[in-house]
């Protein structure tokens, strides 16, 4: 089971990663975490990969932690959560944030608990109209993890973040889009096609600039204006040295489509 719990396919510059335990709504075991880290590392080191698409197999995106996997066989009770947070969820969220290429998430169904927050850690989130987001932690006596307590107030404000986290209610994809929790919600039938189109478009864009845009916007959440202006100066100088900047300006002046190489 754990062997194929993560699928990885690389096509046209896009690494498509699929969470693949559909019978358990793609909830995470420790083995699955290890496979996902391997897939992300493979995407990061493959120079042909210029965008990542993350989605789920079956009717759900991800139901968070596999609650059967947390039970200690010796006691029959849930074990300590520190280990899996420190060794699995926290490194995963860091990887998604730090990978210097865009990560598109196609939320194909319910995204609950850490599953919701893994989706929200991606750069551009597109959801099927039938999908939903549930901060399910409180229902089992836990608090939002996998970065939920960080992103929720920043994306939708404190009032909505508190209510979602404290009530554990289901938020439908259309409301998630309206609130600014996600980028877009699309009809179920076109989700994968739309998400692939988006990822493939990003894979043809100036990758270095995209990576630095991601880094700058993340940095802005903790910076004052002066610090952020310094980040912009540094990042713009890096972009100005790139092939893609030369190409972008050249193409504009020559009234043709730019052919970005990603460096």
Task: List residues near ligand T3D by CB under 6 A.
Answer: 24-25, 27, 63-68, 70, 81, 84-85, 110, 112-114, 134, 136-137, 139-140, 142, 145
Comparing CB distances to ligand T3D, the nearer of 80 and 255 is 80
Nearest distance from C-beta of residue 170 to ligand T3D, angstroms:
7
d(CA 177, CA 68): 32
Bridge partners, 132 (sequence order): 110, 172
d(CA 193, CA 106): 10
Comparing CB distances to ligand T3D, the nearer of 188 and 247 is 188
Nearest distance from C-beta of residue 188 to ligand T3D, angstroms:
15
Identify whether the C-beta of residue 78 lies closer than 8 Å to the C-beta of residue 142.
no
Comparing CB distances to ligand T3D, the nearer of 168 and 206 is 168
Letter string b/e over residues 146-160, b meaning 16 or more CB atoms within 10 A of that residue's CB: bbbebbbeebbeeeb
* Pair of tokens at residue 82: 């520190």
Nearest distance from C-beta of residue 53 to ligand T3D, angstroms:
22
Using H for helix, E for strand and C for coil, what is the string for 142-162? CCCCCCHHHHHHHHHCHHHHH
Nearest distance from C-beta of residue 246 to ligand T3D, angstroms:
46
DSSP string, 9-76: EEETTEEEEEE--GGGTTPBPHHHHHHHHHHHHHHHH-TT--EEEEEESTTEEE-SB-TTTTEETTTT
Comparing CB distances to ligand T3D, the nearer of 140 and 249 is 140
d(CA 172, CA 252): 41
Nearest distance from C-beta of residue 89 to ligand T3D, angstroms:
6
Comparing CB distances to ligand T3D, the nearer of 27 and 207 is 27
Comparing CB distances to ligand T3D, the nearer of 51 and 131 is 131
Nearest distance from C-beta of residue 22 to ligand T3D, angstroms:
9
Identify whether the C-beta of residue 153 lies closer than 8 Å to the C-beta of residue 161.
yes
């Amino acid at each position: 089971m754990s062997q194929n719990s993560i699928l990885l396919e690389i096509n046209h510059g896009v690494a498509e990663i699929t969470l693949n335990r559909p019978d358990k709504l793609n909830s995470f075991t420790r083995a699955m975490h290890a496979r996902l880290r391997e897939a992300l590392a493979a995407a990061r080191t493959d120079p042909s990969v210029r965008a990542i698409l993350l989605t789920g197999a079956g009717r759900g995106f991800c139901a968070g932690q596999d609650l059967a996997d947390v039970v200690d066989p010796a006691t029959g009770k849930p074990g300590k959560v520190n280990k899996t947070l420190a060794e699995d969820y926290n490194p995963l969220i860091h990887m998604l944030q730090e990978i210097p290429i865009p990560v598109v998430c196609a939320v194909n169904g319910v995204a609950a608990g850490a599953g919701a927050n893994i989706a929200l850690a991606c750069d551009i989130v597109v959801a099927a109209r039938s999908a939903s987001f549930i901060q399910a932690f409180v229902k089992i006596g836990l608090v939002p993890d996998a970065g939920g307590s960080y992103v929720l107030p920043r994306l939708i404000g404190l009032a909505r973040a508190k209510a979602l986290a404290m009530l554990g209610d289901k938020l439908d994809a259309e409301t998630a889009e309206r609130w600014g929790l996600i980028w877009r919600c699309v009809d179920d039938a076109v989700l994968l096609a739309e998400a692939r189109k988006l990822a493939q478009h990003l894979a043809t864009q100036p990758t270095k600039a995209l990576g630095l845009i991601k880094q700058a916007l993340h940095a802005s959440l903790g910076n004052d204006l002066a610090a952020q202006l310094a980040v912009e100066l540094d990042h713009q100088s890096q972009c100005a040295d790139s092939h893609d900047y030369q190409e972008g300006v050249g193409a504009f002046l020559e009234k043709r489509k730019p052919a970005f190489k990603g460096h």
